[in-house]
Each structure stands twice: as C-alpha cells, then as structure tokens.
Chains A and B, each alone.
Chain A
Amino acid sequence: EAQVTQNPRYLITVTGKKLTVTCSQNMNHEYMSWYRQDPGLGLRQIYYSMNVEVTDKGDVPEGYKVSRKEKRNFPLILESPSPNQTSLYFCASSFRGISNQPQHFGDGTRLSIL
C-alpha cells in the first residue's frame, strides 16, 4: 500500500531533549516536506526537499533541522525542543515538486514539549 509513515504518532518530552521524528514514503517520490499545524494558524511549511541531498527552508524553519540522505526518508530533528514547538506535525511527499502534484500526507505526529 502506498503511504507516508511518520513515527512516533505521539510524544511528550521535556525542553532541551533532542528528538527526531521520522518520515518514510514507499512511492519513490522525489519531493518531501514537513508542516506544523496549529489552531488559528493553519498548516505552515517547515522545510522541504526537492530531491536527495537538496533541502530548503519553508516558512517556519527556526529550531528545526532536516536531512535527505536517501529518497524514501526525510527526518525532522529538533536539537533543543522548546514549548513553542508543541504542535501537530505532518510529513508529505509528491512525485515531483508541488506544481500540479498531489501531496500525500502522513497521519501526523502530535508533539508536546513540557
């Protein structure tokens, strides 16, 4: 089954403790992206990757890192998480870019930073 898989689905952690949210897709998609969704602010793009070894900042990249060492994986790294990064996170992928390309989303990761 074609899918985007995020792990973990839920995480409660404390300020300053490094964490990684993994994202994997099995559709051989070139493009992958991370978003956060907050009440009243909607979905905002954190980082995106047009292809392997190519990453770019989205609209809210501060406090996050990403890497794209292989096509299927696009982990989101929070080196020193803070409470303002408490949010619902989504990973998405598409065949190539975003222009006229449907984005396939994972089911989300709910992060709580205490």
Chain B
Amino acid sequence: TQLLEQSPQFLSIQEGENLTVYCNSSSVFSSLQWYRQEPGEGPVLLVTVVTGGEVKKLKRLTFQFGDARKDSSLHITAAQPGDTGLYLCAGTGRSQGNLIFGKGTKLSVKP
C-alpha cells in the first residue's frame, strides 16, 4: 500500500520566518502534486513535480522532488499571514485513477 507521510502535522510561526514541510514515502512516485486548502474551500493545486531532483519555484515557495522520487519538500521563505492554510501532497496510488493524499500540514503564520 502506497502511503504519503507529511511532517510536521502542525506548524505555527511568526511572519518573516522560514519553514519547510516534508512529504515522504517508501514508494516511488511518477510525480507528486502540492495543494493548499483554505477553510471552507477545496484544495487548489500549487505545483506538480515530475523529474527526480527537480526544483520548482513559485514566488516565495520552493518545491523539491527527491532524486529517488520517494519524497518531496516545500520551503517557504519569509512566511506571510496569507500563507496560512493546509498544505497537502498527493500522488498516484495503486491504479491510474487512484490519487492518494498525505494527511497535510496545517500552517499558521502570525503577524
């Protein structure tokens, strides 16, 4: 059974701090996606990483896919209150249509 484990589960920081969120698995994934979900809304895609070792940047957010394609990380530089939300990683499970999610990291950035 493929699993995606995210850490930390909760993160509360001050505005301006840096942080890293991890998404790990013992299985190899062809690609991983990162979503952000705000209260009362559905998740919204931030990025998809496909190639082992790939690094993608989205303004202050940096996403990395591990060389072995078993793990990924999300680094936020100089966090702002607008970054507050639930961050989810997702990947293809046991079949082509089966999408599995990590349990998420709930980030709170205080002004």
Contact = CB atoms under 8 A, between A and B. Distances in A.
- Is the interface on chain B under 10, 10 to 19, 20 to 34, or 35 or more residues? 20 to 34
Interface stretch (B13-21, B35-43, B55-63, B70-78): B35-43
A106 B42 contact: yes
Contacts of B24: none
Interface string B82-111: 000000101011011111111110000000
A50 B96 contact: yes
Contacts of B7: none
B103 A56 contact: no
Contacts of A90: 42-43
- Is the interface on chain A under 10, 10 to 19, 20 to 34, or 35 or more residues? 20 to 34
Given A42-B103, A45-B100, A99 B43 contact: no
A19 interface: no
Given A44-B101, A50-B96, A56-B97, A99 B31 contact: yes
B101 A42 contact: yes
Nearest to A43: B101
Given A42-B104, A100-B31, A48 B42 contact: no
Contacts of A92: 42
Nearest to B101: A43
Interface of B: 30-31, 33, 35, 40-45, 48, 50, 88, 90, 92-93, 95-104
Interface of A: 4, 31, 33, 35, 40-45, 48-50, 56, 58-59, 90, 92, 97-100, 102-103, 105-108
Given A97-B96, A98-B98, A103-B33, 4 more contacts: A42-B101, A42-B102, A44-B101, A90-B42
